[in-house]
Structure 1
Amino acid sequence: MQLRALVLASIVVCSQALDTVQYGAFIATATYSVANQLGFFAENGLNVVYSQVPNSTAAFASILNGEYDILTATVDNALNYRFNQNQNVTVIGQLDQGPDLVLASIPSITSVEQLKGKPIIVDSPVSGYAYLLQDVLSAYGLSLANGDYYFMTVGGTPQRYSALVNQVLPNGTAVYATILTYPFTVEGEALSAEETPNILARISDVIAPVTSSAFTIRQSSLSNKTEAALLTRFMASMHAANRFLLNPKNKACSIQALAKQLGVSQAVASQEYASATNPVSGEISPPLNDFTVNQTGIMNDVAVRNKFGGFTVPSGFNFTEALIPGTGKLIDYSIKNAAVTEYSRHRFHSNCTTPSSRDF
């Protein structure tokens, strides 16, 4: 009994020693799944509380009011909040380039042209993936400005995926198409033929690369030593997990982590792994995979939003200058760089049972 009491006491002490990070995200990404399931956060003394955000408006309200310490969201949202709304949000790194980002429809819709006159469900018509949708649909001759289709606001990808599979919103409104991404594109393909969404177009076939998910914080966190130190540890853990994920030697362990986090079969998790490690659109930040923002990718995001009138900045605004990383800018690498340094000094140990995958 005494030994059992000592063990329990030690567990309580260890639990109390963990520092909490409030993390908001639309989905449990592959990198997060590896970090969470294989112990990278815990090893770094972190208790990461994951909150699935309902939509981009709520997500950015939560990062700005301090509810979240860090947020993973599409970088287009950060562009909108920083340049259109003058909100002090800061991007500290790129997570991915849009894994399995597709235009998907209900089974009875088999071509993009069939979407004419129909609503497309989105998170928000003025942020996130809405402008990428406009670009893809315009490639097939459909224009939002001409009334060929219209947007219907529903919420984040989980809500839209559910609506697409059910083919109807909770209020009975018919659903026809939306944009999907990891892990829902693959999950949809694993459904029965009557439920499986049709993939009408892949975003990467129309425009690539794009910077998709980005680590976003409120700018004030950079000048708060306690917050910055906590974020550095979080980013170091995520960097270790990302490096682990992208190393082919760790494929088996990564797939196990994805299967457990997502609650899917090994077969589905294997397909999710392929999506997350795709060399064009996966959870990558080339060339070093150190969370550096792909400048071509983010400029493509800017170009697409600008093409459809998505900026309210003064005429002649220099986006190239505005996107140069630095203190007080939209992109600031101070925390990312500190995290990469921490990673290089500290060998992370996964809890994977495969011997070759224990240390990283």
Structure 2
Amino acid sequence: MKIVGALLSAAVVTMALAVPACAAQSSLTVNVFQGMQNLPLFAAQQKGFFAERGLSVNLEITPSSDEQRAGLADGKYQIIHCGIDNGVAMADVAKVDVAAVIGGDNGFNRLIVQPDIHAISDLRGKTVIVDAPDTAYAFQLYEMLKRGGLDKGEYTIKSVGATAKRLVDIQQNKDDKASMLNPPFAFTAQNDGLKDQGSAVSTIGPYQATAGIVLRSWAKDHPDILIKYLEAYIEGLRYVLDPKNKDEATKMLADGLKLPPDVAAATYAVATDPAEGLAKDGRFDGPGFDNVLRLRADWTGHAPRPAAAYFDLSYYEKALAGLG
């Protein structure tokens, strides 16, 4: 009886310890745009990299950059992944104290046009579509059109929302003649007969696009959670970039983005391109960010602050150190 009693007591203690361990799990709401850049997040969720660090991550897809920025500012989201210029806009225009904490990619954007557009000059007097007209990839579009001989004002700008929405719009509305799209949306558009007029980076040079962005106050209050999140993200990124995981990672793209196998395979090939794919370990592209700030200055007429004012890589560096 003493042995039974001891076992029962041990069971009670074990159950009691399990309650705070469960309760200690940290829940995060992470807001993202739909796209291939979410592949590391898919892996971190499906392979348990978040869970093993005590993180419960809810991924939400944003309809637009305006909604995403507002959600971060209001505390609805703890972390967002988006074009870093959106973070610059939050800091300089909305006066929200944010910081980019990890890089990601160059955006993979391509100028996609209707079949009747044969050159950039054909867009004179036509409608082009963007997410928000005053941030990020809209500036890429304006710059590509300028270098093709069109000044802003020689075309009409229509705000539609995130890339997935722009794809649907340009497929269904033939009067909307051009947009910046990235894979898999650019591939889907071309399969439907739209035309590719070239990549943004081939025209404007290196570009720091997707970045993880947080409120500085939240990061200061939750450094351990942020570091664990970044560890899991980097581990997910390493997993999907490992060639031996190609088939599984391609399936993650197909399932996560609802893609046919051929589009998923083509998208994975872009994601893993050694030169221009997802940045190794999510590294931050300094020269690419300088280009982001230059474009913002050119197209808003307002000089940004020094680049270092917009990011804090200390959490990222600790995450890398923790991974070994």
TM range (shorter): 0.7 to 0.9
Q: Quick one: structure 1 residues 266 and 175, their matched pair in 2 at CA, closer, same or farther if it must change by over 3 Å?
A: same
Residue in structure 2 matched with residue 127 of structure 1 by the alignment: 135
Q: Quick one: structure 1 residues 135 and 96, their matched pair in 2 at CA, closer, same or farther if it must change by over 3 Å?
A: same
> Of the candidates 291, 314, 318, which is equivalent to residue 334 of structure 1?
314
Between the two proteins, the alignment pairs up a number of residues equal to: 305
Cα deviation, residue 133, structure 1: 0.7
> 2: CA distance between counterparts of 1:165 and 1:15?
47
> 2: CA distance between counterparts of 1:66 and 1:51?
14
> Of the candidates 38, 44, 61, which is equivalent to residue 35 of structure 1?
44
> 1: CA distance between counterparts of 2:245 and 2:69?
34
Residue in structure 2 matched with residue 45 of structure 1 by the alignment: 54
Contact 1:104 1:179 in 2 (8 A): yes
Contact 2:62 2:162 in 1 (8 A): yes
Cα deviation, residue 245, structure 1: 2.0
SS of the counterpart of 1:252?
A: helix
Matching of residues 111-150 of structure 1 within 5 Å: 111-144=119-152, 147-150=153-156
Structure 1 counterpart of 2:32, which letter? A
Structure 2 counterpart of 1:247, which letter? D
Please, what is the CA RMSD of the aligned residues? Answer: 2.3
Indicate whether 1:293 and 2:284 are aligned.
yes
Write out per-residue CA displacement over residues 48-94 of structure 1, whole angstroms, 9 at most, x where no aligned residue. Answer: 11111121111111111100010001111112222344321111011
Contact 1:97 1:212 in 2 (8 A): yes
Q: Give aligned-pair identity as a percent.
A: 26
The TM-score, its normalising length taken from structure 2, stands at: 0.87
Q: Quick one: structure 1 residues 15 and 271, their matched pair in 2 at CA, closer, same or farther if it must change by over 3 Å?
A: farther
Residue in structure 1 matched with residue 270 of structure 2 by the alignment: 275
The TM-score, its normalising length taken from structure 1, stands at: 0.78
Contact 1:96 1:213 in 2 (8 A): yes
> 2: CA distance between counterparts of 1:62 and 1:85?
13
Matching of residues 55-70 of structure 1 within 5 Å: 55-70=64-79
Structure 2 counterpart of 1:161, which letter? L
> 2: CA distance between counterparts of 1:201 and 1:111?
11
Rg larger in 1 or in 2?
2
> Of the candidates 228, 231, 241, which is equivalent to residue 233 of structure 1?
228
Write out per-residue CA displacement over residues 180-221 of structure 1, whole angstroms, 9 at most, x where no aligned residue. Answer: 1133112334x4xxx332112211210221000110001101
Structure 2 counterpart of 1:27, which letter? Q
Write out per-residue CA displacement over residues 161-193 of structure 1, whole angstroms, 9 at most, x where no aligned residue. Answer: 11111126xxxxx3221111133112334x4xx
> 2: CA distance between counterparts of 1:275 and 1:291?
16
Contact 1:245 1:254 in 2 (8 A): yes
Cα deviation, residue 17, structure 1: 6.5
Cα deviation, residue 278, structure 1: 2.5
> 2: CA distance between counterparts of 1:245 and 1:39?
14
Cα deviation, residue 281, structure 1: 3.2
Residue in structure 2 matched with residue 185 of structure 1 by the alignment: 186
Unaligned runs of 5+ in 1: 1-8, 169-173, 345-360
Write out per-residue CA displacement over residues 289-328 of structure 1, whole angstroms, 9 at most, x where no aligned residue. Answer: 23332111001111122222x2534xxx6x4xx223xxxx
Contact 1:37 1:260 in 2 (8 A): no
Unaligned runs of 5+ in 2: 1-14
Contact 2:111 2:200 in 1 (8 A): yes
Contact 2:296 2:302 in 1 (8 A): no
Residue in structure 1 matched with residue 169 of structure 2 by the alignment: 163
Structure 2 counterpart of 1:46, which letter? L
Cα deviation, residue 140, structure 1: 0.9
Matching of residues 290-329 of structure 1 within 5 Å: 290-308=281-299, 310-313=300-303, 319=305, 322-324=306-308, 329=309
Higher helix share: 2
Cα deviation, residue 247, structure 1: 2.3
Q: Quick one: structure 1 residues 208 and 249, their matched pair in 2 at CA, closer, same or farther if it must change by over 3 Å?
A: farther
